[in-house]
A and B are shown apart, each in its own frame.
Chain A
């Protein structure tokens, strides 16, 4: 057994002056990491998985208090003195963190940073260290490693930066690699590459990997053992096959079920709490009317940004090029793409939050983009948007009641204050929130609840089209399921049409009737949702499909 964690408890001291409280993050966690194995630590945000991993080498902030035993090669790391830990860090146990951009020192070159552990732990001279670094960069797949030694971190792409982090961690041939959500901040296609790289390296270097993630499907592909955590405790731990094929714990089962896989055909997703209670979701989908009236028609939509260059010149950056689609009432158009594909810009342009450079957006025959200001105000009622970040889309200083009241007040819906309040409360109920939410502030709600409030805000204007810009991407899997179900309910109830923008093909497929695949501002493929899945025509689409985690595949 390489590393043994027994009854680990971690609490944080919060509050500086005056009142100091102790907030528990991890309450009694025990599991083992054997040699030459990949152990996955899975949980949603707030589960304590990162805190557990960071406790091993005591990389926690100063206000953390730990208790328990972490046994490594006969020593209790929790009791180890700092110099002892420093000798271990980077040499026998190394780390890779989530955001490579901020985890690398911006003012030192790649070469300088990577030679540090080599010079410290292995006492290599500078020349020897640089040679070894070059070899490492080659191993992790960085092209032209010699040139890269003199590069600064910001000159590399996100994927390359993560490779550099991994190479730096491997420098002294560690026995254990702790990878804290190493792929979460990367694009979907890059994620797959890094995942495969880590698996390869684990095999080749015969080391153990502690892989932390929120995505059970992702870890299923590379893990040997899985530990599932929720709210600071371990819910289940078992070999990967058992976790996927016969999970014991209700939470694990729910996690597996809630994620929309590509093949899922039900109308609603199962939700963790429901699943734990044994409720089965409604699997009957309401059929869509293929002849519903067209509410939105987009022709040759384009948006360019102009950047200053040189002494007096301007450079055109084409963010969106030539987008065409038709959206019928009650239907959903899914827009898929990675970061930089222009999908968000396109969504914002539909509402004229960005001014378009060319093209037409026809709403009942009226071109939205050439409307006068007063007509535009009326148009705002008909098309609304829900943003990605639930923590930034509600004004922190407004109560929920004020947030819901404002759009109605601007557009003159409801003649009296009491009437508007009545409408607001009924909308809160419709999105599944308690009436007491009316007088509260956004910070009292979770991410999923805030998204519901954002949806309710849109509904106050009785729109016909709703643009959902990565509306569920920032939410945990179980909460995602709830919000997606809500969206489907609202669509069935109110006949809303959606433009659903996301990077997650599985989620898009669950919700959409037609799918648009975008890359670098252009529409690469456009087809029926079922068609895209079964017979993708373009190479890029196939790559996107391939990048989706498949979960455990028994060989």
Chain B
């Protein structure tokens, strides 16, 4: 009888699945960890915004129109310099004025009522927009909307693409032919055009944008998942599962899917970035979020006309928030992909 083989010291002291190994790897990646921190901070901000803890009153016009940012200081008062006000008291018109007897009564009544005269601020932290709304609040709220749309749409697209790709890749033959036909139909039309067609029909609204992006963006995921399933279904471990009698569903989702999930996850993170950018463009064009909502896209739409007048803060705020978040997210996704990559992992 052959000798019992103990596990040699060169191997890991305790068992680690794929995710634990990847996490350990990821922790060593400085860039990845910093990006993760930034993304997490944004997510916290979004959560606060969604629960209306911050940026609740973004629609309130709290500042003077186009209020400059605080660090710039208030705008010098405009020299209106139009007509010179006349000097001297007003002419007494009380004999011809039909309302004259009532003035006194109204003055007394008015004195009793309190008016909430909001003192418009001269400067706001990030400046104000055309209507005097706080750009910082808008930016935060816009982050919530844009990121929410991006993430939800990518989840939808990934789900559709994964289910269809798995079916096409695993079963092959007729199901594959049919799904390939569906794929061909959807990709025969250039992306933008398809989105426009859907937008023309469905109209505006956050839900619609999510639906449109999800229904048009699944093709990339489908292609990849299908290729992966085709690759894995003839691998020995799946054959072995078939040999011991595992059902098709079990083979697809218990065996193959966990081996493919890291690929799907990376794809989904790419989709998030792509969809956020699409949403921005759609909102800019007026096809995205409805008028009573704000997103980075609507901010950019307003910013364009403001820039000509020299008011650059809304453009800066929107760009800054978007750039920081998307960069951090992309770098984080890159780091995740490297951490999960089998070639570096040596696990497969």
| Chain A residues engaging chain B, CB cutoff 8 angstroms | 15-19, 271, 273-274, 348, 351, 353, 377, 380-381, 384-385, 387-389, 391-397, 399, 406-407, 410-411, 429, 432-434, 436-437, 439-441, 443-445, 449, 454, 457, 461, 482, 485-486, 489
Known contacts being A392-B237, A395-B255, A482-B2, is A444 close to B11, with CB within 8 Å?
Answer: yes
Choose the segment among B23-31, B51-59, B107-115, B277-285 that binds chain A (4+ C-beta atoms closer than 8 Å).
B23-31
**Chain B residues with a Cβ closer than 8 Å to the other chain, count:** 41
Q: A17-B30, A387-B236, A461-B244 are in contact. Are A489 and B1 (CB under 8 A)?
A: yes
Q: Mark B1-44, 1 if CB is under 8 A from A, else 0.
A: 11111110001100111100000010111111000000000000
Known: A17-B28, A389-B236, A397-B259. A432 touches B4 (CB 8 A): yes
Complex: how many Å from CA A410 to CA B244? 8
Q: How far is the CA of A424 from the CA of B1 in the complex (A)?
A: 19
- B30: which of A18, A380, A394, A396 is its contact (CB, 8 Å)? A18
B243 engages A353 (CB within 8 Å): yes
* The one of A18, A396, A482 that contacts B347, using a Cβ cutoff of 8 Å: A396
**17 A-B Cβ contacts within 8 A?**
A271-B2, A380-B244, A384-B244, A391-B348, A392-B237, A393-B236, A396-B18, A396-B348, A397-B17, A397-B258, A406-B241, A406-B244, A432-B3, A432-B5, A443-B345, A489-B1, A489-B2
Contacts of A461 in B (CB 8 A): 244
Return B342 CB to nearest CB of chain A, in Å.
9
CB-based closest 7 A-B pairs: A18-B28, A443-B347, A393-B236, A407-B244, A387-B236, A397-B258, A380-B245
Q: How far is the CA of A351 from the CA of B348 in the complex (A)?
A: 26
**Residue ID in chain B nearest A431 by CB atoms:** B2
B191 proximal to A (CB < 8 A): no
In the complex, chain B residues whose CB is within 8 Å of the CB of A384: 243-244
Select B242's contact among A353, A389, A391, beta carbons within 8 Å: A353
List chain B positions with a Cβ less than 8 A from chain A.
Answer: 1-7, 11-12, 15-18, 25, 27-32, 235-237, 239-246, 255, 258-259, 335, 338, 344-348
Contact of A436 among B7, B259, B338 (CB under 8 A): B7
Report the minimum CB–CB distance from B300 to chain A (whole Å).
Answer: 34
- The interface residues of chain A lying within 8 Å CB-to-CB of B29 are 17-18
What is the minimal beta-carbon distance from B180 to any residue of chain A, in angstroms? Answer: 15
A385 adjacent to B7 (CB under 8 Å): no
Cβ–Cβ < 8 Å partners of A445 in chain B: 7
Q: Shortest Cβ distance from B30 into chain A, in angstroms?
A: 7
CB atoms of A444 and B236 under 8 A apart? no
Is there an interface contact between A444 and B7, defined as CB atoms closer than 8 Å? yes
Q: Are A444 and B15 in contact (CB under 8 A)?
A: yes
Partner of A449, one of B3, B5, B31: B5
**Residues of A contacting B18 with CB < 8 Å?**
396-397
Q: Does B3 contact A437, Cβ atoms closer than 8 Å?
A: no
Nearest-Cβ distance from residue A389 to partner chain B, whole angstroms: 6
CA distance A434 to B27 in the complex (A): 32
Q: Which of A18, A273, A432, A445 has the most CB of B within 10 A?
A: A18
Given contacts A407-B245, A432-B3, A440-B15, whether A395 and B31 have CB atoms under 8 Å apart is: no
